[in-house]
Amino acid sequence: MECVLLIGIPASGKSSFYAQHFAATHLRLNLDMLRTRHREAELLATCLRLQQPFVVDNTNVAVAERSRFLVPARAAGFRTVGYYLASKLDECLPRNAGRSGAARVPDVALRDMVRRLELPAMGEGFDALHYVRMADGGFVVEDWRDEVR
């Protein structure tokens, strides 16, 4: 079984990446849809109990946020994989501006996420880490590499 964490600021492509790569095989945990941490925790516990592969489609910008999923998933015997979506503010701001309604995040929130972003590391408990960037309307998945911000 597999726990996948998507990591990146709003408008970095996380939900589109989920739709293209995992929608057919993994359940999606997303705080925007579930609305409360309690519901999120309940769905996580259900996935772990049922051995259901899942993707956490949140920003997951901080080590502490990621550990809420990594620690119980590893304890339940899940393989843990992280996908860091290139989170360049100058690329995400125009994509965010093209959103409407609740999908559009205030620009100040994007800037705050960039400030709080802690790049993932294998030592957090990942079995594998990948770097994802957008290219030609799609996604390119590469082996993990350190990023200079």
> For each of the chain's 149 residues, which pLDDT tens digit applies?
999 999 999 999 999 999 999 999 999 999 989 999 999 999 999 999 999 999 999 999 999 999 999 999 999 999 999 999 987 899 899 888 989 888 898 999 989 999 999 999 999 999 999 999 988 889 999 989 765 44
Please report the pLDDT score of residue 87 as a whole number.
76
Cα–Cα distance measured from residue 56 to residue 69, given in angstroms and rounded to the nearest whole number: 8
Q: Taking the CB of residue 139, how many other CB atoms lie within 10 A of it? A: 17
Please report the pLDDT score of residue 135 as a whole number.
87
Sequence-distant (≥ 6) Cβ neighbours of residue 127 within 8 angstroms: 79, 80, 81
Closest CA to 31 of 16, 21, 20, 41: 41
Positive/negative CA dihedral, 13, 5, 43, 52: positive
Please report the pLDDT score of residue 88 as a whole number.
85
Residue 139 — φ and ψ, nearest 5°? -120, 140
Task: Name the pairing type of β-strands 128-135 and 138-143.
Answer: antiparallel
Please report the pLDDT score of residue 149 as a whole number.
45
Cα–Cα distance measured from residue 114 to residue 89, given in angstroms and rounded to the nearest whole number: 7
Q: Could you tell me if 11 and 95 are in contact, meaning their C-beta atoms sit under 8 angstroms apart?
A: yes
| Range 2-143 has CATH code 3.40.50.1100 | no
